[in-house]
């Protein structure tokens, strides 16, 4: 397959945009350590330093000592610096997104980018891996090329849930008081869980999000809802999940047609190749999908051979 290369101006713009967006994401992570606030209050006749979480919970940090005053000053300075840095970088990100749109750098569907950003904002990016056709957007972005549309067309995106990390996932869901469908609705309010396919959410334009998992084993719960809400999505078991379970992660900034950016966390390209090869030869696989599986396997292998050696893939 021949790939369409981005123009020199598009490549330069993507590199600049990726740098700014990555810096903004790092600044947001750093700001997590100074979420909430600190303040002094008189308790039992003594000035006491309290830490307040984002949920309003208060914790005693220390008393009226030089060390505790220094701790308070450092916290407030870090919080102010983090806020200023995020604000500055947010403006830079907005400008880069405008340039992305003007130079037509991106072609990822806007809804996919918004879903990824909603998952990231909820603190769940470590638990959900984008697999399937949409992973090709990450691979082509890393190569500075565009894959022919015949290998890319799809109206659904699959998110693989690693059941081995389910305790950390559900703890985070409980902490933020969220459901997975609620998080998807932050990206597009029209998403609804399908009545007959609880693993699928669909928006008003027919775009689908599927949540998949490995076959239940060891102490995996089954069935598996994605939150305590009965109306939430439920992860569906898939065969060949070992290819995803054992794969290293491949992370890449992707760009929507609108210029908006997100980091996609997907599977190592060579693991993707092995998965698609297996699916293309599986007699239980839908015969209408097997030719596309074979094509995608060949396309990604070619990307690895021609462009991705710098990523140290083996």
- Work out the pLDDT band at 50, boundaries 50, 70, 90: confident
Q: For the domain 106-311, what is the CATH code?
A: 3.30.460
Which band of pLDDT confidence, cut at 50, 70 and 90, is reported for residue 62? confident
Q: How many other CB atoms are found less than 10 A from the CB of residue 7?
A: 13
What's the pLDDT tens digit per position in 141-154? 999 999 999 888 88
Cα dist. 298→135, 149, 251, 277 in Å? 14, 15, 21, 9
- Give the tokens for residue 256: 């929507």
Check residue 192 and give its pLDDT: 97
Q: Are 182 and 231 in contact (CB under 8 A)?
A: no
Report yes or no: 93 and 86 within 8 Å, Cβ to Cβ.
no
**Three-class SS state of 16:** helix
Element (H, E) at 269: helix 269-280
pLDDT in tens, 254-308: 999 999 999 999 999 999 999 999 999 999 999 999 999 999 999 999 999 999 9
Residue 100 clears pLDDT 70, i.e. is over it = yes
Spatial CA neighbour of 294 closest among 280, 304, 282, 305: 280
Give dist(CA 24, CA 36) in Å, integer: 20
Q: What is the pLDDT of residues 248-262, one digit of tens each?
A: 999 999 999 999 999
SS3 state of residue 47: strand
Report residue 50 as tokens: 């309290």
Q: What is the pLDDT of residue 302?
A: 96
Residue-wise pLDDT tens digits, 194-249: 999 999 999 999 999 999 999 988 888 888 999 999 899 999 999 888 889 889 99
Instruction: Calculate the CA 305 to chain-centre distance.
Output: 26
Q: What is the arithmetic mean of pLDDT over 83-106? A: 95
Residue pLDDT, tens place only, 165-202: 999 999 999 988 999 999 999 999 999 999 999 999 99
112-118: average pLDDT: 98
| 201 neighbors 132 (Cβ within 8 angstroms) | no
Percentage of the chain exceeding pLDDT 90 = 68
Flag whether pLDDT at 314 surpasses 70.
no
Beta-strand pair 145-146/200-202:
unpaired
């Amino acid at each position: 397959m021949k790939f369409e290369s981005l123009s020199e101006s598009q490549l330069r713009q993507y590199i600049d945009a990726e740098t700014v967006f990555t810096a903004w994401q790092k600044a947001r992570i750093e700001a997590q350590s100074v979420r909430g606030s600190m303040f002094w209050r008189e308790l039992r006749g003594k000035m006491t330093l309290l830490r307040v979480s984002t949920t309003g919970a208060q914790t005693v940090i220390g008393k009226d000592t030089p060390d505790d005053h220094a701790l308070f000053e450092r916290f407030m300075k870090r919080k102010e610096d983090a806020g200023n840095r995020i604000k500055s970088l947010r403006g830079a990100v907005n400008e880069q997104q405008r340039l992305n749109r003007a130079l037509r750098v991106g072609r990822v569907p806007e809804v996919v980018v918004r879903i990824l950003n909603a998952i990231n904002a909820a603190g769940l990016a470590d638990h959900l891996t984008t697999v399937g056709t949409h992973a090709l957007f990450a691979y082509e972005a890393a190569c500075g090329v565009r894959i022919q549309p015949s290998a890319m067309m799809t109206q659904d995106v699959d998110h693989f849930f690693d059941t081995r990390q389910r305790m950390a996932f559900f703890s985070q869901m409980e902490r933020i008081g969220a459901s997975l469908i609620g998080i998807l609705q932050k990206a597009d309010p029209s998403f609804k869980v399908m009545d007959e396919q609880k693993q699928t959410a669909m928006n008003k334009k027919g775009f689908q999000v599927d949540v998949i998992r490995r076959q239940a084993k060891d102490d995996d719960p089954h069935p598996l809802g994605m939150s305590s809400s009965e109306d939430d999505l439920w992860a569906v078991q898939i065969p060949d999940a070992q290819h995803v379970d054992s794969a290293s992660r491949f992370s890449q900034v992707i760009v929507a047609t609108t210029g908006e950016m997100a980091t996609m966390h997907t599977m190592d390209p060579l693991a993707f190749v092995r998965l698609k090869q297996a699916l293309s030869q599986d007699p239980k696989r839908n015969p209408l999908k097997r030719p596309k599986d074979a094509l995608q396997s060949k396309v990604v292998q070619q990307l690895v051979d021609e462009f991705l050696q710098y990523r140290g893939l083996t």
